[in-house]
Amino acid sequence: MSNKRTLDGFFKPAESKRPKIEASQEVSSHASYPYPIPHLPCSITDALGFAPAAEAKAINDQPDLDLLHFQPYIPKDVQADLFKFLRREFFFYRVQYTIKRGSIQTQINTPRYTTVFGVDETSYFGVDGSLLESKTKQPVPKDRYKCMPRPLPQCLDVLRKITEGTAGETFNFCLVNYYANGNDSISYHSDDERFLGPNPAIASFSLGAKRDFLMKHKPAPMSMSEPAKPEAKPLKLLLASGDMILMRGTTQTNWLHSIPKRKGADSGAGRINITFRKALVRGGTENYYQYNVGSGGIFRWDNKKQEMVSWKATEGSPTPGPPGTVSLTA
DNA sequence: ATATATAAATGAT
DNA sequence: CATCATTTATATA
């Protein structure tokens, strides 16, 4: 289609206003994706060259705590575009399960949307997108994984590389969470799974709505009767769009963190959280895909409804976005 | 089975 | 009422 202005177009201001972000023609495709994911628009990629946009504030004045807070990391002028791009292009899952409370079955909707990319260090993706063994460079046996690992799409891989440079660490996994509103949350936990190794570094990005991030030291193991320890007050950080926190050292083994539910002001706005981490062994891959993808359906952002809607995997109807040339892999 | 994890429910300010 | 801290219930390893 031609970009020449027509008389018709002249009287349609909506047409000229629309493309705020230049659409990228290329996409990341992979057999494990429900549909191809567009590459990052170069306006965003270019701006990311200036990241980190601020020097980090070190937060290490408490026992076993070692973290850096970049406010922001993503340059201000593209932070909103990046948020919208990712929310629009990614496929999400809302893991649900049922439990019995007393006698009544209740359905639990995991209070956030999730999606995940990556594979642990024992494997990597070849240029054609196939999984290879790190050790032998041979194809991994078909039954090695119960899940189907997904390579990072280009748009995340760009961010990954920049983050690796800042952190002085390498990452092979990317977890993406979407907190649709103040009712979405995650309760206190640590990212201290064994498959991450002893002192995992985790880079966590915030985009979209501001949310509180609470951290508290793990309770000391209860010893016999005597020492009732006074629990220290949780540390509260307000995470804004474009911020990044790098958690390292002994932080994960000794601290818990959470995103609590929030009412009021920002409660209607969505927040995307992106974490980069490194899984060392197979178990990490299985775990992450099990708990962040599960077996439920796909959700996508509906710009008209301004909410996540379940996405029908009807044949051949891929992205609402522009069809482009297909790159072989991320 | 003991321990850990997670979200809901409850109680307090 | 919103937030915070604690407890409860269940699941899973």
**Is there a domain that residue A227 lies in?**
no
**Is there a domain that residue A330 lies in?**
no
Q: Which of A24-38, A98-112, A152-166 has the lowest mean pLDDT?
A: A98-112
Q: How many domains does chain A have?
A: 1
Residue bearing the bigger pLDDT, A261 or A232: A261
Which residues from the 222-281 window of protein chain A have CB within 7 angstroms of nucleic acid chain C?
231, 233-234, 236, 260-264
pLDDT tens-place string over residues A198-232: 899 999 999 999 999 999 998 876 665 555 566 67
Instruction: Give the closest nucleotide to A258 (alpha carbon vs C1').
Output: B6
**CB neighbour list of residue A62: distance below 8 Å, 6 or more residues apart:** A217, A232, A235
**Is there a domain that residue A283 lies in?**
yes
Q: Residue A12 pLDDT more than 60?
A: no
Average pLDDT over residues A118-143: 97
Which residues from the 90-149 window of protein chain A have CB within 7 angstroms of nucleic acid chain B?
106, 108-111
**Is there a domain that residue A209 lies in?**
yes
Q: Residue A4 pLDDT more than 90?
A: no
So what's the pLDDT on residue A20?
Answer: 65
Q: Which two tokens stand for residue A190?
A: 């640590």
Average pLDDT over residues A286-315: 86
**Is there a domain that residue A282 lies in?**
yes
- Residue closest to B5, CA→C1'? A189
So what's the pLDDT on residue A290?
Answer: 84
Distance A300 CA to C1 C1' (A): 33
Domain that holds residue A149: 22-219+232-297
So what's the pLDDT on residue A211?
Answer: 94
Report residue A292: phi and psi, to 5°.
-115, -10
**Is there a domain that residue A252 lies in?**
yes
Average pLDDT over residues A43-59: 97
Supply the mean pLDDT for chain A: 86
**Is there a domain that residue A12 lies in?**
no
Q: Please report, for the domain that includes residue A283, its CATH number.
A: 2.60.120.590
Residue bearing the bigger pLDDT, A265 or A249: A249
Distance A199 CA to B11 C1' (A): 37
Burial code of A93-130, b = ≥16 C-beta within 10 A, e = fewer?
bbbeeeeeeeeeeeeeebebbbbbbbbbbbbbbeeebe
